[in-house]
């Protein structure tokens, strides 16, 4: 039995040892356990994404095909001793989910199984302090769960510029300015990404902040953080957000992600290179009666122009409409202007058309999309076809 299963089993056994009351699973809430004194509550859920994809260039000379379990996750959330002490755990079990060799030496050559392990302390009704490893409050597309996407996967803008996860402390605030809801987040993290065990010799940190406005009021069922207007908003709802991150003395090509940037001296000794990285996101989402529109802009700057570190700009815009039979048709435009430090800037543009059938919302759905990909680094444009089934509770 591997260590993921052992951990999951131990959590279940712990729950039963508390003389738990069992709430049987639903597709919305998973399986819940609560102690008789109601001091402990745990909810368990899982999800699986099975993906098949085919890609080739227009001349038929660059063929590739993949079929895999794209994501498989085990999740637990709840509280311990009091609803004030909330927690979230999430484990990645598929090989594709656990990263690659780019940072093997920095994670003790282990698999990056742990996605989220965070304690959320409710200071008051509208204020929380988080401590641990979890997503940073970066671009909206990244913070939206991969389970709740409008297409088979996130865009190329997110792939190149997102902040991903990190370890540190987060302050979250939600309040109203007049009748308009407002959310704020202020975060200090290590800046090196998830599951890092090696130390940063220059002790650089990352500082991230986000503000978000809801001029037309709050979305139904937190619809600002899942794609598609599955609840069919009766009145138009709009969220406008902006995030800024400053990653000081980062050693990775994309901040919390990417390869560690190194150099060799004349004697063959390898040493880390460091850089300061600033990333600005501006995003918005609108939903009304089955229509959903979302857009993001990102700009990333570097203090030093060093080969290997990434900078540039990106834009993604997407629109979808949910028909009465819960079938959705969506389109997406993506543009990325990326530089790898001292290298020529490369522009990539994608046009994607997607179709989704929501059988039980985002918990059980079938999705497919087709994309046209035009990159300056390739002599001929590519096309890509993907098909995916998602199942979860």
Structure tokens at 109: 């050559």
- Residue 252, judged by CB atoms within 10 A of its CB (0-12, 13-18, 19+), counts as buried
Residue 389 has pLDDT above 90, yes or no: yes
Say if CB 210 and CB 185 are below 8 A apart: yes
Helices (H) and strands (E) in the chain, counts: 3, 20
Q: Over the chain, what is the mean pLDDT? A: 90
What is residue 16's predicted lDDT score, i.e. its pLDDT?
47
**Residues 252, 274: Cα–Cα separation, whole Å:** 8
Average pLDDT over every residue of 71-85: 95
The pLDDT tens digits of the residues spanning 281-318 come to 999 999 999 999 999 999 999 999 998 999 999 999 99
What b/e sequence results for 316-346 when a residue is b if at least 16 CB atoms lie within 10 Å of its CB, and e otherwise? bbbbbbbeeebebebbbebbbbbbbbeeeee
In this prediction, residues 94-116 reach a mean pLDDT of 78
What band does 190 get if pLDDT is binned at 50, 70 and 90? very high
- CA pair distance 224, 211, nearest whole angstrom: 14
Neighbouring CB atoms inside 10 A of 309's CB total: 28
Above 50 in pLDDT, residue 17? no
- Between these two residues, 375 and 342, which has the higher pLDDT value? 375
**DSSP H helices in the chain:** 3-17, 140-143, 156-161
For residue 18, the model assigns a pLDDT of 45
How far, rounded to the nearest angstrom, does the alpha carbon of residue 373 sit from its chain's CA centroid? 22
Is residue 89's pLDDT more than 80? yes
Lowest mean pLDDT of 184-198, 205-219, 238-252, name the range.
Answer: 184-198
Q: What percent of the chain has pLDDT over 90?
A: 75
- Name the pTM for this structure: 0.90
Write the pLDDT tens digit of every residue in 26-46.
545 788 888 888 899 999 999
Cα 139 from chain centre: 9
- Distance from C-alpha of 40 to C-alpha of 31, rounded to nearest angstrom: 14
- Per-residue pLDDT averaged across 327-337, rounded? 98
For range 109-138, the mean pLDDT: 94
Proportion of the chain in helix, strand, coil states, percent, rounded to 5: 10, 55, 35
CA–CA dist 230, 289 (Å, integer): 9
The domain segmentation of the chain, as residue ranges, is 12-392
The pLDDT, as a whole number, for residue 9 is: 54
| Mean of pLDDT values over 130-149 | 97
Better pLDDT: 157 or 37: 157
**What pLDDT shows up at residue 162?**
96
Q: In the prediction, which pLDDT does 78 show?
A: 94
**Given this model, what pLDDT does residue 379 score?**
87
8-17, 64-73, 126-135, 324-333, range with the lowest pLDDT: 8-17
Q: Which residue has the higher pLDDT, 93 or 1?
A: 93
pLDDT for the residue 7: 54
Provide CATH code, domain 12-392.
Answer: 2.40.160.10
What single-letter DSSP state applies at residue 260?
B
Rounded Cα–Cα distance for residues 125 and 174 (Å): 9
Q: What percent of the chain has pLDDT over 70?
A: 90
Per-residue pLDDT of 224-278, as tens digits, reads 999 999 999 999 999 999 999 999 999 999 999 998 898 988 888 888 899 999 9
Q: In 10 A of CB 126, how many CB atoms?
A: 12
User: DSSP for 193-210?
Assistant: -TT--S--TT---EEEEE
Confidence of residue 341 (pLDDT cuts 50, 70, 90): confident
Whether 63 shows a pLDDT value over 90: the answer reads yes
Residue 201 is predicted with a pLDDT of 60
């Amino acid at each position: 039995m591997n260590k993921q299963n052992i951990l999951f089993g131990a959590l279940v056994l712990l729950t039963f040892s508390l003389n738990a009351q069992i709430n049987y699973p639903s597709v919305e809430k998973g399986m819940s356990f609560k102690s008789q004194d109601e001091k402990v509550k745990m909810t368990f859920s899982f999800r699986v994404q099975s993906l098949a994809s085919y890609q080739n260039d227009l001349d038929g000379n660059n063929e590739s095909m993949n079929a895999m379990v794209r994501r498989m996750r085990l999740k637990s959330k709840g509280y311990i001793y009091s609803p004030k002490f909330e927690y979230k755990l999430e484990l990645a079990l598929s090989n594709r989910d656990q990263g690659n060799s780019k940072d093997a030496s920095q994670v003790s050559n282990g698999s990056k199984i742990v996605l989220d392990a965070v304690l959320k302390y409710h200071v008051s009704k509208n204020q929380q302090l988080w401590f641990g490893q979890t997503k940073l409050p970066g671009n909206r597309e990244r913070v939206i769960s991969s389970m709740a996407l409008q297409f088979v996967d996130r865009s190329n803008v997110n792939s190149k510029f997102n902040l991903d996860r990190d370890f540190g402390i987060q302050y979250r605030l939600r309040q109203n300015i007049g009748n308009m809801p407002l959310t704020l987040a202020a975060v200090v993290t290590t800046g090196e990404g998830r599951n890092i065990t090696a130390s940063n010799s220059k002790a650089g940190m990352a500082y991230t902040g986000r503000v978000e406005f809801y001029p037309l009021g709050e979305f139904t069922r937190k619809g600002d953080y899942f794609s598609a207007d599955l609840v069919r908003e009766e009145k138009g709802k709009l969220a406008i957000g902006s995030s800024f991150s400053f990653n000081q003395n980062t050693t990775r090509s994309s901040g919390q992600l990417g390869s560690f940037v190194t150099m060799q001296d004349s004697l063959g000794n390898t040493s880390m290179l460091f850089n300061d990285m600033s990333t600005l996101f501006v995003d918005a989402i609108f939903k009304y009666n089955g229509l959903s529109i979302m857009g993001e802009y990102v700009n990333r700057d570097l203090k030093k122009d060093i080969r290997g570190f990434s900078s540039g700009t990106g834009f993604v815009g997407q629109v979808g409409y949910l028909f009465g039979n819960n079938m959705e048709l969506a389109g997406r435009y993506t543009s990325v202007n990326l530089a790898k430090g001292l290298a020529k800037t490369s522009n990539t543009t994608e046009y994607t058309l997607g179709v989704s059938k929501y059988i039980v919302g985002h918990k059980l759905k079938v999705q497919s999309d087709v994309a046209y990909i035009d990159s300056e680094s390739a002599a001929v444009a590519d096309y890509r076809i993907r098909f995916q089934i998602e199942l979860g509770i």
